[in-house]
Amino acid sequence: MNGNDRIIRTEYSEEMQKSFIDYAMSVIVARALPDVRDGLKPVQRRTLYDMHELGIRYDRPYRKSARIVGDTMGKYHPHGDSSIYEALVVMTQDFKKGLPLIDGHGNFGNIEGDGAAAMRYTEARLQKITQEAFLADLDKDVVDFVPNFDETEKEPSVLPVKIPNLLVNGSEGIAVGMATSIPPHNLKEVIDATKAYMMNENITNRELMRYIKGPDFPTGGIVINKDELLEIYETGVGKIKVRGKVEFEQVKGGKTNVVITELPYPMIGANIGKFLSDVAALSETKKTQDIVDISNQSSKEGIRIVIELRKDADAENFVNMLYKKTRLEDTFGVNMLAIANGRPETMSLKQIIKACVDFQYEVNTRKYTNLLAKEMERKEIQEGLIKACNVIDLIIEILRGSKDRNMAKACLVEGKTEGIRFKSRESRIMAEQLCFTEKQANAILEMRLYKLIGLEIEALINEHEETMANIYRYEDILERRDSMAQVIMNELDEIKREYGRPRRTVIENGEEAVYKEKELEEMEVMFLMDRFGYAKTIDMATYERNKEAADTENKFVFPCKNTGKVCLFTDQGQLHTIKVLDLPFGKFRDKGVPVDNVSNYSTEKEQIIYVTSQSELNLKQLLFVTSQAMMKVVDGGEFDVSKRTVAATKLNDGDTVLSVITLTDQHNVILQSKEGYFLRFLVEEIPEKKKGAVGVRGMKLGEKDMLEAVYYTTTTSDAAIEYKSKHLLLNSIKLAKRDGKGVKIRA
């Protein structure tokens, strides 16, 4: 061990706790949450600043996204190129951001969920508003610059954004133990609310909402819980209900088309495909029979999803069904969490605006302090040059009589005349009275002769007057809060005038969607399932016409109610239920649907032993027999369950269900083992148990023997089987007691 190394003994749990808290705070502050002042996450801020540094302005050519991403990653954000490119892509998408900050050229994805092309194919540059309202004044020391990750570069800790960007563009991010979700708002409304706050800092959230009506999603839509918005904006937490915009179009034949022209903001992306699937599923599952066709006619011009309804359909009721059963009505969860004063805080609408306004005062104070200092410096130099022009002959005499620059400068600043040759004693006396400042003296020494032209002197005087006006204005802005407020509001008005747009989202108190489901007429149908597991239902008249073929071609055939359920018992002791409505109802020769498509049954793991209707079970008892000869009778009512899959019986290790049957008039049970033993006994000997029981032993089996078949007969039955080329009458087997070894039948 190195002599400088030290072993630190610490409690493991304490070290884990400290390390995890450090990690969590790093993610919260430096990765996932936006700063309330500029509304940007670090990756967004760094990407925009890097583009600014690279000079990729709105009025210059596009540059490859890969160049921007690589430069950002190398200088400021060492967290992988995918996160940087994803942030860049989102800042270009006008369907996600109310105010896109980057102008993208190429495929940057679309509202339907298609992703952007690879960064090597796309190009980007800054938007004009980003240049003017986000990155302007960075050269005026308006924000603090901090070292980057390896301390080779400097980056701004926050951008001097002139608008409450956190509200305008919203934000979404998942940190550790917390998440932010802020909806976008209308730029005009946010600016009006900001100005209202600046004019009255005691304004309430309710009064601010006279200006900000609610969220303004770039996809439009309708917010339907207007009365709940005030509480959401006061607490910073809540749920906004959003609906898509629907129009009705009358077409030929008296039919109505339901046309969706705007989508709820949470649905954008891959959820549009999910919505179309959900609408199709409503028709497939018989929730509605009004749909004739669905088509997605969306394009660059906008969203257009057309649902064609049949002639006598109730379009209003159908739309209410879409609101209820699909994401055409969706919820946007609001959690207005942002970094304020270096820590995460859930903020109200007023708190966000206050933080942004305070930041504007801070930025403008630094800006105009910096500008004032520059103007004061300019004033000093201008006054020196004007004064020099008035005594230019003396200055020329000093310059010609000095041995070097330092001698001339000392004379101009301190009036030292030693070593300088003057033409007259009067000139020396005048020179001794000179008292220019250091900066003025340098300016005089560097002044060019053409500056002595009359017009140039006049221009110098005009410049001085302009400088004095600027100084007066800057001092007024810095000394009077009202003046600074007016400057900020003027900038906001200019941004509003150039970049404001009308509201897209409608805010209202929508009525609860009431959907009246058509009551299903209960009727008896025939369930058919073939040996391949394809099932369907047909009406009773169709069955009667095709009875012989139906019974011959299908493994399970029984009547059931169309409102009921079908029960599938498997060799693994599972019960799977299927709603009869989930099965296709139609013609006798229709193929049907595989039962594993409409239930949890798995063809790979289990095999169907018995199928019956749940209504039939409620009135009867079931007899279970397993391969290890365990038996029991269970009341059918125990299988009236709501779950799609339950355990129908308990099995010992390695055991499987061999037979399940509904008890009707069976009197005898005949068990046949693989080694040729047969045992016949009365059904009454099998006890009734719960479905969770294993049951009792029906037959003593040899060490390697197991049941191969189970037969049931009535007292008078003459049923027979072919066994080893021998005709065996089942009731001829000697009647014995349960749990016997049985008799061996030889060939």
Query: 554 or 178: whose pLDDT is higher?
Result: 554
Q: Are the beta carbons of 537 and 562 closer than 8 angstroms?
A: yes
Of the pLDDT bands very low, low, confident and very high (cuts 50, 70, 90), residue 302 is: confident
The two three-digit tokens of residue 295, written as one number: 């088509």
**How far apart, in whole angstroms, are the C-alpha atoms of residue 553 and residue 437?**
113
Query: How large is the average pLDDT for residues 604-624?
Result: 89
The two three-digit tokens of residue 147, written as one number: 């070292």
CB-hemisphere CA count at 13 Å for 486? 10
Which pLDDT value is given to residue 229?
A: 95
Angle 177-180-183 from CA coordinates, rounded to 5°: 160
**How far apart, in whole angstroms, are the C-alpha atoms of residue 671 and residue 685?**
14
The two three-digit tokens of residue 332, written as one number: 């946007």
**How far apart, in whole angstroms, are the C-alpha atoms of residue 264 and residue 327?**
8
Cβ neighbours of residue 459 closer than 8 Å, sequence gap 6 or more: none
Query: How large is the average pLDDT for residues 40-60?
Result: 94
The two three-digit tokens of residue 351, written as one number: 């708190």
Residues making up the chain, counted from first to last: 747
Q: Are the beta carbons of 285 and 239 closer than 8 angstroms?
A: no
Query: How large is the average pLDDT for residues 633-644?
Result: 89
Model confidence pLDDT, tens digit, residues 207-238 = 999 999 999 999 999 999 999 999 999 999 99
Model confidence pLDDT, tens digit, residues 90-111 = 999 999 998 999 999 999 998 8
**How far apart, in whole angstroms, are the C-alpha atoms of residue 586 and residue 593?**
12
19 pLDDT above the threshold of 80: no
Residue (of 300, 302, 305, 303) closest to 107 by Cα position: 300
Helix (H, G, I), strand (E, B) or coil at 266: helix
Angle, in degrees to the nearest 10, between helices 454-479 and 481-499: 100
Taking the CB of residue 437, how many other CB atoms lie within 10 A of it?
14
Which pLDDT value is given to residue 3?
A: 53
Q: Are the beta carbons of 694 and 666 closer than 8 angstroms?
A: no
Range with the poorest average pLDDT among 412-416, 609-613, 741-745: 412-416
Model confidence pLDDT, tens digit, residues 588-610 = 888 888 999 889 998 888 999 99
Of the pLDDT bands very low, low, confident and very high (cuts 50, 70, 90), residue 25 is: low
Taking the CB of residue 212, how many other CB atoms lie within 10 A of it?
26
Which pLDDT value is given to residue 394?
A: 86
Q: Specify whether the backbone of 170 is left (phi greater than 0), alpha (psi in -120 to 50) or beta.
A: left
CA dihedral 456, 461, 464, 468 (to 10 degrees): -160
Which pLDDT value is given to residue 399?
A: 83
Which pLDDT value is given to residue 454?
A: 66
Which pLDDT value is given to residue 112?
A: 82
Mean pLDDT of the chain: 89
**How far apart, in whole angstroms, are the C-alpha atoms of residue 124 and residue 58?**
9
Taking the CB of residue 336, how many other CB atoms lie within 10 A of it?
26
The two three-digit tokens of residue 299, written as one number: 């394009």
The two three-digit tokens of residue 272, written as one number: 């549009």
Residue (of 161, 215, 211) closest to 184 by Cα position: 215
Return the exposure string of 50-89: e unless at least 16 CB atoms fall within 10 Å of the residue's CB, then b. Answer: bbbbbebbeeeeebbbbbbbebbbebbbeeeeeebbebbb
**How far apart, in whole angstroms, are the C-alpha atoms of residue 359 and residue 647?**
64
Q: Are the beta carbons of 738 and 681 closer than 8 angstroms?
A: yes
Helix spans in 236-348 (H): 271-284, 315-325
Model confidence pLDDT, tens digit, residues 51-62 = 999 999 999 999
Residue (of 286, 278, 333) closest to 307 by Cα position: 278
The two three-digit tokens of residue 444, written as one number: 């005089």
Which pLDDT value is given to residue 34?
A: 92
Q: Are the beta carbons of 117 and 56 closer than 8 angstroms?
A: no
Residue (of 54, 39, 132, 122) closest to 88 by Cα position: 122
The two three-digit tokens of residue 98, written as one number: 């109310």
Helix (H, G, I), strand (E, B) or coil at 345: strand
7 pLDDT above the threshold of 90: no
The two three-digit tokens of residue 171, written as one number: 């934000």
Model confidence pLDDT, tens digit, residues 477-530 = 999 999 999 999 999 999 999 999 999 999 998 777 666 666 667 889 999 999
Model confidence pLDDT, tens digit, residues 502-517 = 999 999 987 776 666 6
The identity of residue 25, as a single letter, is M
Cβ neighbours of residue 690 closer than 8 Å, sequence gap 6 or more: 634, 638
Residue (of 345, 436, 402, 412) closest to 33 by Cα position: 345
Q: What is the largest CA-CA distance in the chain?
A: 157
Model confidence pLDDT, tens digit, residues 682-736 = 999 999 999 999 999 999 998 889 999 999 998 888 888 888 888 888 888 899 9
Residue (of 628, 614, 690, 638) closest to 659 by Cα position: 628
745 pLDDT above the threshold of 90: no
**How far apart, in whole angstroms, are the C-alpha atoms of residue 203 and residue 201?**
5
**How far apart, in whole angstroms, are the C-alpha atoms of residue 715 and residue 725?**
25
Instruction: Name the DSSP class of 583.
Output: S
**How far apart, in whole angstroms, are the C-alpha atoms of residue 291 and residue 285?**
12
Q: Are the beta carbons of 731 and 738 closer than 8 angstroms?
A: no
**How far apart, in whole angstroms, are the C-alpha atoms of residue 73 and residue 69?**
6
Which pLDDT value is given to residue 357?
A: 96
Which pLDDT value is given to residue 16?
A: 81
Q: What percent of the chain has a predicted confidence (pLDDT) above 70?
A: 96
Distance of CA 639 to the CA centre of its chain: 41
Model confidence pLDDT, tens digit, residues 113-135 = 888 999 999 999 999 999 999 99
Contacts 24+ apart (CB under 8 A), 428-435: 430/391, 430/394, 431/394, 431/397, 431/398, 434/391, 434/394
Q: Looking at the DSSP assignment, which residues form a beta bridge with residue 247? A: 259
Cα separations in angstroms, 55 against 49, 72, 131, 142? 10, 13, 10, 20
Query: 114 or 189: whose pLDDT is higher?
Result: 189
The label of the residue with tokens 């976008």 reads 184
Return the exposure string of 599-616: e unless at least 16 CB atoms fall within 10 Å of the residue's CB, then b. Answer: bebeeeebebbbbbbbbb
Question: What are the percentages of helix, strand and coil residues in the chain, rounded to 5?
Answer: 40, 25, 40
Of the pLDDT bands very low, low, confident and very high (cuts 50, 70, 90), residue 69 is: very high
Is 121 designated active site?
A: yes
Helix spans in 127-252 (H): 128-133, 165-169, 187-199, 205-208, 229-235
Query: How large is the average pLDDT for residues 639-666?
Result: 90
Which pLDDT value is given to residue 619?
A: 80
DSSP element (H, E) containing 172: strand 171-174
Of the pLDDT bands very low, low, confident and very high (cuts 50, 70, 90), residue 665 is: confident
Helix spans in 289-391 (H): 315-325, 349-390
Which pLDDT value is given to residue 658?
A: 94
2 pLDDT above the threshold of 60: no
**How far apart, in whole angstroms, are the C-alpha atoms of residue 315 and residue 331?**
23
Domains in the chain, start-ordered, CATH in brackets? Answer: 40-160 (3.90.199.10), 245-327 (3.30.1360.40), 364-499 (1.10.268.10), 524-744 (2.120.10.90)
Range with the poorest average pLDDT among 329-338, 373-382, 585-594: 585-594
Which candidate in 58, 76, 121, 197 is catalytic? 121
